Amino acid sequence: MKALRYLNPGVLKTDEIDSPRCGAGEALVRVHAAGICGSDMAIFAGKHPRARPPLIMGHEFAGEIVELVAGDAGTELAVGDRVTAYPLLMCGKCWACRNGVSHVCRDLKLIGIDRDGAFAEYVNVPLELLVKFPDRFSFDQGALIEPLAVGVHALDMAGTPDWQNAAVVGCGPIGLLVAFCLQQAGVRNLLISDIAPQRLERAAGLGIPVLDSARDDLADRVIRMSGGEGADIVFECAGSASAALQTSDLVRPRGKIIMVSVHKEPHPVDLRAITFKEISIIGTRVYTPADYEMALQMLPNLPYQDIISHRVDLDHGADGFDIMGQAADACKVIINTDT
């Protein structure tokens, strides 16, 4: 099969390699669409703590089951089903695994990071991780269930949406999807910020109020939008040091800061402001199976055509990474593996 492989930091190559074999309790999935994620960019840059070359990345994907070997547990899945994967591999033994929050497993691993993923014609997936979706959804839509579930999880971790106003810092794919979830939850007093005008244009096209924080004062606008007090809730989706530090200026007393982006370094936060305003900072990581179900329910409303900015085929998979890293208008870049 054809596969895009990470061979060294900065080196990706599309090669012809052996297709994976399907063992008991596994399915072979013919991949049709797979999204490039921020964590794939970190692997490509050689900055991911676990990923080791040679590796086929890709954990947000959709395809069709072409072969299946039911294990002792049996399965309701069948050849021909459209599926995506809940790509988390847990240890099953640690405190998190024993207490119903295995998505924060002490030894959490992912398909496409710790074992081969979906930037290939075929991927091998344990049956219990496959999530079937209806044929009426396209594979592009199916590939967006994973990042959408990140947004769903962020809102779930935020608790009851009784807030009147919310700010989203960072207008990448995850920021956009968090804002979409807020729209779906009925939060009307909403603002998303970024320093890249092209990203903001995309958000504005989705009906989300935007602020260019390179030109305008974000804190000032958020304070004004919330009647002088600060937002009820702030979602940090930028992953930058400046964004982390500023969040406490944006939120009102007793407000919440939801950390959605993965900070690669221990960035400072203003602990004095956190104390004085009794702010809650809530960490969020990936998603639970319930978040996947919710994402699937929300899929019909998702303006996925506007979230996907670029498509490349497997032969040009490396170009997809260049686009993600360099194109000012990049949002979700999809590798379509059957073109």
Which of 41, 90, 83, 79 has the alpha carbon at shortest distance from 285?
90
Comparing CA positions, the residue from 31, 85, 44 lying closest to residue 296 is: 85
For Zn ion, the closer CB: 105 or 308: 105
Minimum CB distance to Zn ion, residue 210 (Å): 24
Q: Which is nearer to Zn ion, 90 or 195 (CB)?
A: 90
Q: How far is the CB of 102 from Zn ion (least distance, A)?
A: 6
Among 55, 62, 83, 97, binds Zn ion (CB under 5 A): 97
Q: Give the residue from 193, 196, 126, 187 showing the smallest Cα distance to 160.
A: 187
According to DSSP, residue 44 is labeled H
Q: x/- binding map, residues 57-96, to Zn ion, per CB under 5 A?
A: ---------------------------------xx--x--
Quick one: 37 or 192, whose CB is closer to Zn ion? 37
Beta strands in 1-147 (DSSP E): 2-8, 11-16, 26-35, 60-69, 82-85, 88-89, 109-110, 122-126, 130-132
Q: Which residues of 145-157 are buried (b: 16+ CB within 10 A; e: fewer)?
A: bbbbbbbbbbbbb
Q: How far is the CB of 246 from Zn ion (least distance, A)?
A: 25
Spatial CA neighbour of 172 closest among 186, 151, 156: 151
CB of 66 to Zn ion, least distance (A): 24
Q: Interface with Zn ion includes 154 (CB under 5 A)?
A: no
37 binds Zn ion (CB under 5 A): yes
The size of the chain, in residues, is 339
The only residue of 105, 125, 176, 187 in contact with Zn ion, by rule CB under 5 A: 105
* 110 sits near Zn ion (criterion: CB under 5 A): no
Residue whose token pair is 């990140």: 150
**Nearest distance in Å: CB 38, Zn ion:** 7
Contact positions vs Zn ion (CB under 5 A): 37, 90-91, 94, 97, 105
